[in-house]
Amino acid sequence: MSPLPNKLQRILTMRKKEDTFRTLNSIEGLIDFLSNDYLGFATNETLFSKTFQLLLTESVASNGSGGSRLLSGNHKLYNKLEPFLVRFYKSEAALVFNSGYDANMGLFSALPQKGDLVFYDEYVHASIREGIRMSHAKAYSFSHNNLSSLKEKATLNIARNEHEDCAVYIVTESVFSMDGDTPDLKAFVKFAKVNGYNLIVDEAHAVGVLGKSGEGLIPQLGLEQDVFARTVTFGKAFGGHGAAVLGSKDLNEYLVNFAKPFIYTTALTPHTLATIITAHEYMGELGKEPKKILKENIDFFKKQLSAHKMEQHFIPSDTPIQGCIVSGSKKAKLVSKKLIDKGFNIKAILSPTVPEGQERLRICLHSFNSKEEIGLLVKLLAGFI
């Protein structure tokens, strides 16, 4: 086996010295405050059975899709799923991708053209930033959740732009994956509409959790018709895998023709699509109770923080994602290890995933966490930080 090139070895060594080296770990038997499985759907036995029954009902006995959707992989469960997603999320069209990363890479690498401008929140997903980087548009970040910063960046750079046929895209998230906070989406929508800009919102961490039936924050606020596109994912609250871009029929057709992660990727398996369908059906039928319990757990967690005078260590959030700032990689990893030793599965999030000095414990609350577990966790944190 050929050795790693010297310059790559030096980069790897430097990461170890900086204490930001990543490894793959599998820790079993711990109390889950780590996963994005907010409602416990990933291990729900009823959903598992319903998925199997759907495959039997649809007479599907295939292990794989056999190719990309433009070749042999566009099997009949896609024709059942995508119209279902249109109704569920109140969108004109829906296009399923293999993952949230693929959806964002496909959307943002294909959509903005040379002469276009993209303004994105500085904390958006890496997949969004990578997709934008692969486009031919000029892109500028604005301060996190700061509409004034966006207005300033847009005013300055649009005035400088010499392209007459310039499309402007504004990109944000409804729930941010590391901070758990939300922007003032109504204000962002108003700004975009007044100026004729295209607003794109990533709803990865909102769907399943927010909205009457888990449709996300955009439908909860009644803004479905006011955004250019939404991305939704199925590997978090819905407990499965895959994602979709929601938007107009024209956008759907454009992506089918120009989004490379869609065009050149083997399609999802029938079992994966069946899981997405049954999870959404289950959410509409029986998902209200776990959503209610999750909300109660979030409120209880925040009360425990107040009781232990821990609020100053946490980023304000009303979502399942609670970020406890523990500045410095070594300290964050040490506190994480102490919690793991006590039976709690919580990981330290280090730079460059988050800004240096903003290292943290990313605590994810779930409907299946008990009040006793939550209370003990906060008590331990108060002693470790």
C-alpha pair distances (Å), 177 with each of 32, 36, 203: 17, 10, 10
Write down the number of H helices and E strands in the chain: 14, 12
Q: Which is nearest to 207 in space by CA: 283, 295, 297, 123?
A: 283
My answer on whether 195 and 263 are in the same domain is: yes
Query: What's the CATH code of the domain at 294?
Result: 3.90.1150.10
Residue where one domain finishes, among candidates 285, 311, 340: 285
- For strand 117-121 and strand 31-32, is the pairing parallel, antiparallel, or unpaired? unpaired
Assigned token pair, 200: 């794109």
My answer on whether 30 and 64 are in the same domain is: no
My answer on whether 161 and 305 are in the same domain is: no
| Phi-psi group of 90: left, alpha or beta (phi > 0 → left; psi -120 to 50 → alpha; rest → beta) | left
Query: Does 5 fall in a domain?
Result: no
In what helix (H) or strand (E) does residue 117 lie, and over which residues does it extend? strand 117-121
Neighbours of 63 (CB within 10 A): 8
Residue where one domain finishes, among candidates 285, 319, 350: 285
Query: Does 3 fall in a domain?
Result: no
My answer on whether 26 and 57 are in the same domain is: no
pLDDT by residue for the chain (385 residues), tens digit each? 989 999 999 999 999 888 888 888 877 889 999 999 999 999 999 999 999 999 999 999 899 999 999 999 999 999 999 999 999 999 999 999 999 999 999 999 999 999 999 999 999 999 999 999 999 899 999 999 999 999 999 998 887 877 778 999 999 999 999 999 999 999 999 999 999 999 999 999 999 999 999 999 999 999 999 999 999 999 999 999 999 999 999 999 999 999 999 999 999 999 999 999 999 999 988 788 999 999 999 999 999 999 999 999 999 999 999 999 999 989 999 999 999 999 999 999 988 888 889 999 999 999 999 999 999 999 999 999 8
My answer on whether 278 and 344 are in the same domain is: no
Phi, psi of 111 (to 5 degrees): -80, -60
Query: Does 296 fall in a domain?
Result: yes
Nearest-10 crossing angle of helices 185-195, 147-160: 20
My answer on whether 294 and 276 are in the same domain is: no
My answer on whether 243 and 358 are in the same domain is: no
Query: Does 6 fall in a domain?
Result: no
Phi, psi of 121 (to 5 degrees): -60, 135
Phi, psi of 248 (to 5 degrees): -80, 165
My answer on whether 152 and 241 are in the same domain is: yes
Cα(359)–Cα(356) distance, integer angstroms: 7
Residue where one domain finishes, among candidates 252, 285, 318: 285
Give how many domains the chain has, as a whole number: 2
Cα(76)–Cα(79) distance, integer angstroms: 5
pLDDT for position 279: 97
My answer on whether 108 and 222 are in the same domain is: yes
Query: Does 359 fall in a domain?
Result: yes
Q: Which domain holds residue 76?
A: 46-285
My answer on whether 22 and 64 are in the same domain is: no
My answer on whether 305 and 159 are in the same domain is: no
